Amino acid sequence: MKATRWTATVLVGFVAGLLTLPAAGLAAPAGPTQLGAADMTLLNGVRLAGLWEMPAGTMAAEKGSKEEVRKVGAEIAAQHDELDRLVVEAANKLGVQLPTEPSAQQKGWLDEMKGATWDRFDRIFVDRLRAAHGNIFPVIGVVRSSTRNDVVRTLAEQANGFVMNHMTLLESTGLVRYAELPPIALPAPQDEGLVAVAKANAEFGAGLSSTVIWAVLLGALALGSIATVRLVRRR
């Protein structure tokens, strides 16, 4: 009789312990690392850059009024062809679908260049490309320092070299108007608190480790068993 009562007590305690577990403790084990929003921003941004800057560079090589602009255009077009190959390879490894045509804004820039000639073309070409490279540059830095994906990290390193070189090439024309470059919105400093860690884990589907789950489970089981034994004794 005592053995039966003790068995029932343990079973009830086990159930009570499970009921005290937080919902996160019952989450599925951590799966493979997923791509964050910043990762996808980099992949799409690099691809879109190539889709409009390759034809822009080719256009500059053909109709630039200055020799420096023609040389820079040809070099940027050639380098974007290589960078585009790298981002497509990365996307194939990750199973990500990339854009297949420039954005509406980028198409507008290309149309603007098509309608310009001589000095005006040179100015538009340099202004548009230098501003675009300035926009993608901080994104590369953020992704390189925070991504959890090796393929994306490698792409960020590769893209950083290309973008730095392109900005230097564009600036070598002497046509960059630095005072008129659009301001860049820098990312907010990272929060090192527990809330930030929890948000990061939720974003990437990290979940809880098996060690933490078992520790909480056993702790809850012990507490539930003790509470149940006390309840039975009172009766």
Q: Which of 46-50, 76-80, 135-139 has the lowest average pLDDT?
A: 135-139
From the CB of residue 109, how many other CB atoms can be counted at a distance below 10 Å?
A: 21
- Which pLDDT band, with edges at 50, 70 and 90, does 202 fall under? very low
Residue 171 has pLDDT above 50, yes or no: yes
pLDDT over 50 (residue 217): no
- Percent of the chain at pLDDT above 70? 64
Task: Supply the pLDDT for residue 212.
Answer: 40
Query: What is the CA angle 88-91-96, rounded to 5?
Result: 130
Q: Residue 37 pLDDT > 80, yes or no?
A: yes
- Per-residue pLDDT at 213: 37
Please give the mean pLDDT across all residues of the chain. Answer: 76
What would the 3-class secondary structure string for 128-171 be? HHHHHHHHHHHHHHHHHHHCCCHHHHHHHHHHHHHHHHHHHHHH
Poorest-confidence range of 62-71, 104-113, 217-226? Answer: 217-226
Dihedral angle over CA of 81, 86, 88, 93, nearest 10:
170
Q: What is the pLDDT of residue 89?
A: 97
pLDDT in tens, 115-162: 999 999 999 999 999 999 998 999 999 999 999 999 999 999 999 999
Question: Does residue 194 or residue 100 have the better pLDDT?
Answer: 100
pLDDT on residue 34: 79
Confidence of residue 188 (pLDDT cuts 50, 70, 90): low
Average pLDDT over residues 27-45: 73
Higher per-residue confidence, 15 vs 103: 103
Q: Is the pLDDT of residue 20 over 50?
A: no
Q: Which residues contact 99 (CB under 8 A, 6 or more apart)?
A: 44, 47, 48, 51
Flag whether pLDDT at 228 surpasses 90: no
CA 48 to the chain's CA centroid: 15
Residue of 67 and 187 predicted with greater confidence: 67
| 8 Å CB contact between 98 and 87 | yes
